[in-house]
A = this chain, B = another copy of it.
């Protein structure tokens, strides 16, 4: 696969190879980036829902954000405990599987897989939203830009060069510093002006209200805002990556992520209110993302503005990138348990990463195309999977504490822990219910349909492997009844080097060898060619075999229209009938496929013949492939 090697290179390393190395400083970008990036689209998603109520909506963004922050705090404390209890791998799949059973684990994994796909689509579309806010001329090319970024990230991940490291650290800290600085400056201005700051660049006026504020609207805004919490679970998946003492570093990183995220979310909500920044329709010309309006209002459209928006773009694209590491990891876990093709379970290989990356890229590409690269249309599908996984993970933790020994001095501690995770489960469960109810008709139904379909597929694969394993069980003692060598059949086209190799090998396997020449019906030289082969066989091949005392192999010529495999198969069946109970071996000389074009131009025929023989030839037939290496022909 030389071409592929050139295009996508050898896999060099991935985030997990940093196992046991990182501290909080490196952990914040490597593991927290995804969670922090959510602040770029979460508040905007909530504001978008509040759009129809006009300026009144801006009064409600702070209370809604408060509710979101409360859930986030509960989630943080819950995950603190998860990290302690599962310091090796505390992913939702593992926690739910161990405590709630395989089905719930699988449900959590399915939810996460869906959300990884959505995370790619939302991250990229929000990043391009930031870009088109800064450079409005690019706005008509939104979808094209999204797909280009997706293609670049995909190729980069297939090459394996995007590691957690400086590439993650610089944009993450730049993002926190610049956006944090803008927010701090804005809050300071708000404080100085008693809550009525003068924007440097006035944001577009919030359109007049067309609807009244209802509880339903606020719930929908909350549901959309919950997308700001996606990615928080990452620390519990990646504890192994930390340096000793791993749990302490993981705890510190979790706390750092949640505090920074909370401050960003709270700051954005307050400033959206004081600077009168509302969401805008991304499909309309002149679209400005909330962060773009906010930054412009606080600091003007100077260098700081472009640095901030640039870091937002970078962080969002890298946040999409984290799915490219997490998705294959979940696939590998599932494959190891037999829920996906087993050969994906090998962690040392590029295969699982490549297959997973391609699936992820195709899924995200389909979503981006279907929804035109517009973040707002993707949001209703998002967060369902994440909150499903949150809820199952927290419920699993609650069961975990419940099952701890009830005796001994630390009984009250287990009770407290149970209470905390149970609260987490209820909070995320209620949020999930709100998200589902509020977003169902707007797109969440797609997620609700896809999750059980995927679940059913995974379970069907598992059932397939279980059935095979059941059939393979071998309880009876071995009894060997027939050790006669097989009758060997060699299909040949001509007395060439391939045929010679096949015959030499066949004579090692058995004294009963039959060469079958499939003559073609068409063409005027057919009979001449067949005659020449017969003479060659009679004059050269047969005597050489006799010379070493072996039985002379007969040459059978069968006319075979169109090089089809049918007549050969008929001959095999015929031979089986004449020698009942005897094993048959068909020796096929094959070019070893050193290049992909060998496969297309040559090997595929051998493979097709092999497959047909194995499928149709019955249980007593084996296929022997004798390789023949070319002296490097180039097409």
Contact = CB atoms under 8 A, between A and B. Distances in A.
Nearest to A602: B468
A21 interface: no
A478 interface: yes
Contacts of A627: 614-615, 617, 619, 621-623
A342 interface: yes
A518 to B, nearest CB: 12
A548 interface: yes
Interface centre among A343, A485, A545, A631 (most CB of B within 10 A): A343
Contacts of A460: 634-635
A433 interface: no
Interface string A342-376: 11011111000000000000000000000000000
A465 interface: yes
Interface in A473-516: 473-474, 477-480, 482-486, 494-500, 503-505, 507-509
Nearest to A502: B622
B467 A485 contact: no
B474 A496 contact: yes
Contact of A341 (B561, B604, B611, B621): B604
Contact of A585 (B348, B463, B624): B624
Contacts of A624: 585, 622-625
Interface string A125-145: 000000000000000000000
Given A464-B634, A478-B540, A548-B483, A343 B608 contact: yes
Copies of this protein, total = 2
A619 B499 CA distance: 14
Given A507-B483, A623-B624, A540 B604 contact: no
A590 interface: yes
A630 interface: yes
A199 B635 CA distance: 62
Nearest to A616: B592
Contacts of A622: 505, 587, 624-627
Contact of A474 (B500, B614, B625): B500
Interface string A536-564: 00001100110110100000000001111
Contact of A507 (B341, B461, B480): B480
A485 B509 contact: yes
A347 B562 contact: yes
A592 B612 CA distance: 9
A68 B342 CA distance: 64
Interface stretch (A224-232, A388-396, A593-601): A593-601
B508 A486 contact: yes
